[in-house]
Structure 1
Amino acid sequence: MTSTSVLENIEKYIPLVGDVNIKTPLAYKTSRGAVKVVNAAQMAVAEAYINGFEVPDAVLRSLFDTFMPILFKYFPSLLAPYDWVLKETDHLAEGSRDLMKLQYDLPQAMLNTMLGDGKLIYPKYSMALWEKGAANLEQAQMQMIDDVIEKLEIKDGDNILDFGCGWGCVPNYILSKFPNVKFTGINLSHEQCEYMRGKMQDPESYLSSERFTLYEGDLNDAFFDTKFDKILSIGVFCHVGNLTKAFQKLASFLKEDGKVFIHIITVRTPNNISSVYTHKYIFPHGRYWNFDAVPSHNKDLKTIERWYLNGYNYSTTFANWLKNFDDNQATNKQLDYGIEYAKFRRIWRFYLLWFVRNFACCNGEYNGNGQFLLTHA
């Protein structure tokens, strides 16, 4: 028996540590009971803050810096607030309408100022790449997309599908670099699609060319007359509850020699994780898959290469978004969020402050972004 198997055999009897899925019934029940206590404590602090209890940023940062490393290093099972986080759900996506309402149907003016809205780099709600020396957010987002182009081996003339294309930033940038590439974007958010439709009427946008096609709707319902050379998906798989079904669908769109590139938040802990706070206020049914989750699903697509991007990159991205958010309060407070602006601001500041520290903890080695290159199995 190897030392690893001996450790796993011991850990299955011990609550809270290691892989919660291999626990004995008693250890599992004890672990889940402890999770409820942690969830209640997390929400008590968060709800007090968003309801007006004044807590200096320095105190919140200190709180996050104290507890996050302990949880990631020693008690990762406490970071899985719901049983469904630990495994695939029955549906490809969960809570998609709630997600649209809380995230992607927010006032576009607020999102533009927070995420950045340039002539080439449109709002992009995913990690920017800072480890190559980018000087600002726009440059870091360009370098991130350049990195995707290199890893996916995009070449001129490729026909590419972007699953969950956001506001069209990635297609617009890639179309600007390759005059014969064609793009199809799938997006469930009506508001994001309206933004792209506006760009499709703008002669200065590369989305206005006949090389870009927009499909508004669910991946489950999508059908295309042609198969694609490349498929990419940036960030969307945090909202996908069933990798098996998603990979089966994407594989049906892919040419025999085609490639798929997936970029997601991922964790190098034994379990997938989530948060009661983000589930309620930010990302309904969002989860952060374990770094081994994608490679372990190889029925229709198989992983041929993967990369872990240190959490420093996303922490720095969130820090820039937080600064942009704070710097544009005069504009933001004039917009309609469906709730009192002061409360909305505290909800989002708590989230942004938390994620700056969350991705920075443990030197970024536990919580970062995973990238996966896949082909037909």
Structure 2
Amino acid sequence: MESTNIFSDVQKHIPITGDMSSKSSIAYKTTRLMAGALNRSQMALAEAYIGGLEIPDAVFRSLLYASMPVLFKYCPSLLAPYEWVLRESDFLAESSQELMQVQYDLPQAMFNRMLGNWPVIYPKYSTGFWQHGATNLKESQMHMIDQVIERLGIEDGDHILDFGCGWGCVPNYIMSKFPNVRFTGLNLSHQQCEYMRQKMQDLESYLSSERFTLYEGDLSEAQFSEKFDKILSIGVFEHVGNLTHAFQKLASFLKSDGKVLIHIITVRIPNNMSSGFTHRYIFPHGRYWNHDAVPSHNRDLKTVERWYMNGINYHKTLTAWLERFDASQASVKTLDYGMDYARFRRIWRFYLLLLGTIFATCDGEYNGNGQYLMTHA
């Protein structure tokens, strides 16, 4: 016991290792400087790639396979390039309108090609679940939603709120399996809402039934006339800057005996993580919460069960997206991306290649997805 205390006391003075919240002032400042230097070097590589530097995919992946295990295992604090990554912000969400412009309001035809667009499985911008034998992207997304159904304990007749419902894939699939389930979708993206509104006019879509209601707006401003049996949120909390405020809001929408399932990219390192590249080009103010972050916020909602989904699942999903993205160039290159298409293509190739490889490093044991079942505290 005494040796453990001595080790902890010594470690707080050593930069880059262990928990940043316990560091001495000098060790903390030194670590932040080193994290900034690493981020600048990564951004230099990204900018070179975007500018036309040819790096074979195999070489790119080899660099990450060599470097990321060192960072995950021994230097995790270097993976937080900005100060805001390490703590909650004052706002429920940051840069939400900017996020819509640079990410979710891009041409729908491009997303359809990259993510897939089938009669029941609409584009879904989160991981598939491959560990139960899925052989393709569509099956992996169906298996992932089936897992959500089981873990949230969805029953026929439930009224469910889907916070950040994307293009309506999850509500559509679940309503196809439960004839009396009702859904309310809450989404800030106008482009995604327009997609769902078209489906709501399509008699072959389950979104066209009276069992689906769409609310376009922000969580902080949302109000509903009735409380929900279940709430689910898939792939949204990477964009939420304040878990405390978000859980307080969700709790206010939940029946006294209701359940919430949060699905989120998570990291099993002492601190939260982010990427300077994705912050600048893909997900403004996006962060990956530490695997213990959600359970540590138990004021309004408490975690009663949690699971870790190995990162190999997201690796396979992102690899499938990259293959589909590459295969669709001829049909999507004339769309309006708000910039030169060649530049857009290289930004997105770097993004899909970068994240797809990072999730596979360390056999997916450090960077994957967390699922949290919550009830009223």
Into which bin does the TM-score normalised by the smaller protein fall? over 0.9
- The corresponding residue for 1:59 is 59
Unmatched runs of 5 consecutive residues or more in structure 1:
none
In 2, distance between residues paired with 1:310 and 1:2? 35
1:115 matched to 2:150? The reply is no
Q: 1:72-111 to 2 correspondence within 5 Å?
A: 72-111=72-111
In 2, distance between residues paired with 1:177 and 1:157? 12
Q: 1:332-343 to 2 correspondence within 5 Å?
A: 332-343=332-343
1:371 matched to 2:371? The reply is yes
In 1, distance between residues paired with 2:276 and 2:192? 26
In 2, distance between residues paired with 1:208 and 1:301? 32
1:175 matched to 2:175? The reply is yes
- The farther-off stretch of 115-124 and 3-12 is 3-12
Kindly provide the amino acid, as one letter, of the partner of residue 300 in structure 2.
D
Q: 1:248-267 to 2 correspondence within 5 Å?
A: 248-267=248-267
In 1, distance between residues paired with 2:2 and 2:342? 56
Q: 1:1-377 to 2 correspondence within 5 Å?
A: 1=1, 5-377=5-377
- The farther-off stretch of 5-14 and 185-194 is 5-14
- The farther-off stretch of 55-64 and 358-367 is 55-64
- Deviation of 1:223 after TM superposition, in Å, equals 0.5
In 1, distance between residues paired with 2:40 and 2:202? 49
In 1, distance between residues paired with 2:8 and 2:62? 33
Kindly provide the amino acid, as one letter, of the partner of residue 250 in structure 1.
L
In 2, distance between residues paired with 1:3 and 1:170? 51
| Cα distance, 1:47–1:363 mapped onto 2, change above 3 Å | same
Q: How much is the aligned-residue C-alpha RMSD, in angstroms? A: 0.9
Kindly provide the amino acid, as one letter, of the partner of residue 181 in structure 1.
V
* SS of residue matched to 1:68: helix
Q: Verify the 8 A CA contact 2:36 2:82 in the aligned structure 1.
A: no
In 2, distance between residues paired with 1:331 and 1:11? 55
In 2, distance between residues paired with 1:4 and 1:374? 34
TM-score, normalised by the number of residues in structure 2: 0.99
- Deviation of 1:10 after TM superposition, in Å, equals 2.1
**Residue deviations 1:9-29, cap 9 Å, x none?**
222100000111111000001
* SS of residue matched to 1:293: coil
Kindly provide the amino acid, as one letter, of the partner of residue 169 in structure 2.
C
Kindly provide the amino acid, as one letter, of the partner of residue 80 in structure 2.
A
* SS of residue matched to 1:295: coil
* SS of residue matched to 2:94: coil
Kindly provide the amino acid, as one letter, of the partner of residue 39 in structure 1.
N
Report how many residues are paired: 377
- Deviation of 1:102 after TM superposition, in Å, equals 1.1
In 1, distance between residues paired with 2:259 and 2:2? 36
In 2, distance between residues paired with 1:102 and 1:114? 16
- Deviation of 1:157 after TM superposition, in Å, equals 0.2
Identity %: 69
In 2, distance between residues paired with 1:106 and 1:22? 41
In 2, distance between residues paired with 1:106 and 1:338? 9
Unmatched runs of 5 consecutive residues or more in structure 2:
none
In 2, distance between residues paired with 1:300 and 1:339? 43
| Cα distance, 1:2–1:172 mapped onto 2, change above 3 Å | farther
